[in-house]
Amino acid sequence: MPEWDINFKKRSLKTISLLGLLVAMNFNLYGQANWTLENEKDGIRISSRPASSSQFNDIRVELDLPGNIEQLKGILLDVDHYKDWSYATKKSVLIRKLGVGRVIYFSEFEVPWPATNRYFYSSIELKEDSVTHSLTVFAVNLPNYLPAYKDLVEVSFTKGIWKISTLSNKSIHVVYTLELNPGGSLPSWVINLFSSKGPLATFENIKQKMTALNSQK
């Protein structure tokens, strides 16, 4: 085979490889950012995107809150009172403290009849950055952590991430993302209820709690 032909084929293969890499990078960049704004009320922006392994869309919530990171951290670590603000939460119980900013808890949330209530065990881990005055909170379920509950369906997967940054000494910014596979099958209207009403109600409650904490000062 002539040398020029060999070199041409080598250059062609390099070009194809480069194009493939660029396509992959482009898909990675834009495929992860395809959030669609679903609702916006009182400064609370709720977006969604199709999930890769669940009938329940991924959820993203963004808003500003009065107060500071320590106040919101206190709310997030007080798991026994999640039912006071987290949408459809029927029960939430602290199971174990693993150290500073690390806990395991149990939660049951109500699902409209005829569907069955769901439950999960989850770990919470807080990571603070004193330089940027920010906080990241990871909440991930622990499958089969303890024996199954009768008459309840265990959530297959849930991962929530809170990214909390300081705007001023009186306000913070929150970006929350949720991936959820509730397990079993649910009617589409129930899924829509938790996708649309749930996040808004939850963060309206959090905003009210943070506002109340800071109106007392």
Looking at per-residue pLDDT, the higher value among 30 and 86 belongs to 86
pTM above threshold 0.85 = no
In a domain, 30, yes or no: no
Q: pLDDT per residue over 95-115, tens digit each?
A: 999 988 999 999 999 988 888
In a domain, 18, yes or no: no
In a domain, 21, yes or no: no
In a domain, 14, yes or no: no
In a domain, 47, yes or no: yes
pLDDT of the residue at 7: 53
Contacting residues for 73 by C-beta, under 8 A, at least 6 apart: 101, 126, 135, 137
**154, burial (CB in 10 Å: exposed 0-12, middle 13-18, buried 19+):** middle
Least confident of 110-114, 152-156, 181-185, 192-196: 192-196
Per the structure block, which two tokens stand in for 12?
A: 């062609």
Q: pLDDT per residue over 56-78, tens digit each?
A: 889 999 999 999 999 999 999 99
Per the structure block, which two tokens stand in for 141?
A: 């379920």
Query: Domain range holding 48?
Result: 35-215
Count of structural domains, the chain: 1
Question: What are the strands, taking DSSP E only, across the chain?
Answer: 36-41, 44-49, 58-66, 89-99, 102-109, 118-129, 134-141, 153-154, 157-168, 171-181
In a domain, 99, yes or no: yes
Q: What is the CATH number of the domain that holds 86?
A: 3.30.530.20
Report the C-alpha gap between 19 and 41 in whole angstroms.
43
In a domain, 156, yes or no: yes
In a domain, 96, yes or no: yes
Whether the CB-CB separation of 48 and 191 falls below 8 Å is answered with no
